[in-house]
Amino acid sequence: MEKRTLKIVTFNARYMNSGDGEKDFMHRLPIILKTLRSRDPDVICFQEITMEMRRLLLRELPEWPLLGGGIWNDGSNETPCIGYRRERFMPTDVSSFWLSPTPDAPSGFGLDQSGCCRICISAAFQPLDGASAFRVFNTHTDHVGAMARLLGTGKILDRISAADSVRRLPLIITGDLNAEPDSPEIELIRSYTGHPVRDITSGVGPTFHGFGQLDREVKIDYIFTDLEPVSVEKWTDAENGLTLSDHYPVGAELWLPDAKA
């Protein structure tokens, strides 16, 4: 039987910010649309999507519905979300939870955390071509607090364990984790034995360039999975001096096993 693959990308799109001037999302939108259409990922794991960005993406890219809401219960503020090709996949078990002691309500850990609540979007996807279902967790952990990131990562692993206890599926963890590869937060995922995964993006180099304003570019964007990669690529597309975002998206093509009888 012919092997099937899944194309997925983690993409911090940089929230709408008029202070970005010519690099604001509205100026970058044409190259974002062009790139997504040409690369045609099956699943897009966005971070920093505001309600207005969501509206624009749904209007321009209706073939990718978006799962996930805002940071607050009214759907406002920027958020991670997951886009998927509607003609290829059926989403199930869709949920959102906050990285906090109260995962069902907007809050944070306090401690060293910024003023931003942090959230994770998860969903299982059933391919419509007979391949195995798989589960995705997409998040954006805190940009200030190392302890908040560590505790938030633990909450994600707890949810993975709970999901596995109901139905264990191939797993993909994506996101802007605001932590470099040698940090305790990343080691916590790497050493998790409940559902072992590996960072298939380890060879792509820096992913956060800050529109060229950083003293040192860093790797903080990840795809962890137990699926075997066909290829992994950092998206460095640019047009008329504009990059896709202040992050490089990272895409991967993964082998999907056949569904179990």
Q: How far from each other are the two terminal CA atoms of the chain, in whole angstroms?
A: 14
CA distance 183 to 195: 20
The pLDDT, as a whole number, for residue 114 is: 86
- Mean pLDDT calculated for residue range 178-182: 98
Q: What does pTM read for this prediction?
A: 0.95
CB 144 within 8 A of CB 109: no
Question: Among 2-6, 30-34, 247-251, which is the least confidently predicted range?
Answer: 2-6
CA distance 10 to 223: 7
* 180 residue type, one letter: E
pLDDT band at 74 (very low <50, low <70, confident <90, very high): low
Query: What digits encode the pLDDT tens for the residues 22-40?
Result: 999 999 999 999 999 999 9
Distances (CA, A) of 257 to 5, 32, 130, 138, 208: 9, 31, 9, 22, 32
